[in-house]
Structure 1
């Protein structure tokens, strides 16, 4: 430190101080404003970028909320469509069952009517056959009974007796 004090020159100190002050004056006059302007511009750019990021974040949240709302609406609409489809299916099944029942009842009535008609036809046919057989048997019996005169007279007497009793 002593060497510094021994080598100290006041003229050199004054010249260096003047040069330093001149350099500071030049920097302030020509460089300080552009540096401050660029720093201010950079700070404003950063602030704008942060504001844009916040706005984008808010927009994303709004979009997410809209997407969630639309998703809920789509789900509700899908559920409504599925419910309507189930109701239509159930109605179609019930209608088909009712129509099948009506058709079954109609076919059953037609079958019963056909059976009744066939039954009546069969009974009529049996009556005709019984009548034919009865006539044939009666004819044979009468031929046998009426083959002799004594039997004919006896049969006429019996018939007359039956007529008087009735």
Structure 2
């Protein structure tokens, strides 16, 4: 039973050794351990605060980016609208110019047609006048002694004129 129950001397020396080790550890090991734990706690808190700050900055940047994106979309829409307006204006101007040119060409063609028509009518009138004069001349040159011959001659001349 001696092995199970330690003696008082053993307990005393064990207690003294424990106290000496405790004092040595407190003086040399605990202060550095506690200071490194404190330092680590401070660095962790600083890292958490820094992470929170970065998170807030990222949220701010995200909102700024969204605002810039919305502004860019608005600018793009404005540019597209301006381009469409410019295109429509150019098309409208081109149509107006083409319409004016068409009207000018048509009016010039109508004037030319009218001039050619008038020239053709004048030419036809001149030819008819020449034919009348020729027929009249032929009638007057011929002897008018026989009335039947005279009428037959006029009918023949009328047929010749209508055939030409």
- TM-score tier after normalising by the smaller chain length: 0.7 to 0.9
Q: Distance in 2 between matches of 1:77 and 1:145?
A: 102
Q: Any unmatched runs of 5+ in structure 1?
A: 148-166
1:51 aligns with 2:49: yes
1:41 aligns with 2:39: yes
Provide the residue aligned with 1:128 in structure 2. 126
Shift of 1:146: 6.8
Q: Distance in 2 between matches of 1:84 and 1:43?
A: 60
RMSD between aligned residues: 2.0
Q: TM-score, normalised by structure 2?
A: 0.81
Q: Any unmatched runs of 5+ in structure 2?
A: 146-164
Provide the residue aligned with 2:151 in structure 1. none
The alignment covers a number of residue pairs equal to 146
Provide the residue aligned with 2:25 in structure 1. 27
Runs in 1 of length 4+ with deviation above 3 angstroms? 3-8
Q: How does 1:87-106 map to 2 (within 5 A)?
A: 87-106=85-104
Provide the residue aligned with 2:160 in structure 1. none
Q: Distance in 2 between matches of 1:109 and 1:84?
A: 37
Shift of 1:144: 2.1
Provide the residue aligned with 1:162 in structure 2. none
What SS class does the counterpart of residue 7 from structure 1 fall into? coil
Provide the residue aligned with 2:15 in structure 1. 17
What SS class does the counterpart of residue 142 from structure 2 fall into? helix
Q: Distance in 2 between matches of 1:98 and 1:7?
A: 122
